[in-house]
Amino acid sequence: MIESDFFSDPYSNLPKQGKVAWKAPSNIALVKYWGKLAHQIPANPSISFTLDACATTTSMAFGKKEESSDTFSFDLLFEGKPKEDFKPKIQTFFERIDAYVPFLKEYHLVIETSNSFPHSSGIASSASGMAALSLCIMDIEKQMNPDMDEVFFNKKASFLARLGSGSACRSIEGDLIQWGTHKNIPESSNLYGIKYPFEVHPLFKNYHDTILLVHKGQKQVSSTVGHELMHGHPFAENRFQQAHENLDALKAVFASGDVEEFIKIVESEALTLHAMMMTSMPYFILMKPDTLEIINKIWAYRSENHVPICFTLDAGANVHVLYPESVKEKAIQFIQDELVEHCEKGHYICDRIGQGARKIQ
């Protein structure tokens, strides 16, 4: 599909008022999106596990304005309280998606949103937040166009979410989502995420992600700034090429269940992401000493015990510990015995691969 497929048909039947609500999960990238072009087009393809427990729930009440106007009108409540400082981000998002959902300006919206994870956990809520918001908007559009099928609904939700935050386009469906054009992945697109179209071994169907909260404060450098620094980065082209190659390599890994190869690709991707940060100009480091302590302990544990536990990182100091269902007890024991001491206040979140967003009735 191309961009123009996402323009809406003129609506004849705008509902007067209503309320919709969706819960959308976060996701964790295995091959990372880092670097982008104009209009939220990724510089390289990526792939992620959709998560389950870490999620944002958003409701949107809509009431038709008395008179049409050319501005967006909305109130925003976060965890029950008005949240003025989130509004500019949503205003920008609405401006970006205006051409595709022009009915939004016909309404006054009351948006209420909350996260399942604590506010200052260092877990980014932009992926789950933008996904939940996009699904609410699509739900309203579907009321005007009831014949819309589920495939289009999900694609357009992912398309809109991408315009809010790139990684959000991978938070609509589960359980393994690929985003970004790749020559060997049919149907892959820079515009939206797709369900991974190839064979996936059962081992990768029940993966766990225990998120170790190493540093809960605000990051010094936002992802948006980090992406920007990939322009003119001395290693950018090689890095983008590597992401394509890693997606190719993952095809055989997912099909065969080769967990050793999986670990090599996933850990290398995580460290490459942070290597890009350290070699940007200006350079920066988001890992903390405890991030490195955890990584070293995972490596030592894995080589001594031959248990397939590995790590990945997002753009922060927290560590995502990944392992298959079959080693769950051992992994949790190891995390409690050796890794929790590196978490801020001993906090961590047990999450696992999930099946995507769902409507709240």
Q: How far is the CB of 215 from ligand DP6 (least distance, A)?
A: 15
Q: In the complex with ligand DP6, which residue's Cβ is closer, 57 or 223?
A: 223
Q: In the complex with ligand DP6, which residue's Cβ is closer, 26 or 302?
A: 26
Q: How far is the CB of 346 from ligand DP6 (least distance, A)?
A: 25
Q: How far is the CB of 325 from ligand DP6 (least distance, A)?
A: 23
What b-and-e string marks burial along 122-150, b requiring 16 or more CB atoms within 10 Å of the CB? bbbbbbbbbbbbbbbbbbbbbbbeeeeee
Q: Give the 3-state secondary structure of residue 36.
A: strand
Q: In the complex with ligand DP6, which residue's Cβ is closer, 189 or 223?
A: 223
Cβ-based neighbour number of residue 360 at 10 Å: 13
* Range in contact with ligand DP6 (rule: CB under 6 A) among 145-153, 165-173, 290-298, 333-341: 165-173
**DSSP labels for 320-358?**
EEEE-GGGHHHHHHHIIIIIGGGSGGG-EEEEEB--B-E
Query: Which regions of the chain does DSSP assign to beta strands (E)?
Result: 17-31, 36-37, 41-42, 46-64, 73-78, 81-82, 107-115, 176-179, 193-195, 208-212, 310-313, 319-323, 348-352, 358-359
Q: In the complex with ligand DP6, which residue's Cβ is closer, 20 or 317?
A: 317
Residues touching ligand DP6: how many (CB under 6 A)?
A: 17
Q: Is residue 165 involved in binding ligand DP6 (CB under 6 A)?
A: yes
Return the closest-CA partner of residue 8 out of 146, 150, 141.
141
Q: Is residue 351 involved in binding ligand DP6 (CB under 6 A)?
A: no
Binding mask 32-71 for ligand DP6 (x = CB under 6 A): xxx-----x-----x-------------------------
Q: In the complex with ligand DP6, which residue's Cβ is closer, 116 or 178?
A: 178
Q: Give the 3-state secondary structure of residue 126.
A: helix
Binding mask 204-233 for ligand DP6 (x = CB under 6 A): -------------------xx--x------
Return the closest-CA partner of residue 335 out of 357, 318, 350, 324.
350
Q: Which amino acid is at 242?
A: Q
Q: How far is the CB of 196 from ligand DP6 (least distance, A)?
A: 14
Cβ-closest position to ligand DP6:
166
Q: Is residue 180 involved in binding ligand DP6 (CB under 6 A)?
A: no
In whole angstroms, give the CA distance from residue 215 to residue 59: 30
Binding mask 284-323 for ligand DP6 (x = CB under 6 A): ------------------------------xx--------
CB neighbour list of residue 53: distance below 8 Å, 6 or more residues apart: 25, 116, 117, 349, 350, 351, 352, 354
| Contact residues: ligand DP6, CB under 6 A | 29, 32-34, 40, 46, 124, 126, 165-167, 223-224, 227, 273, 314-315
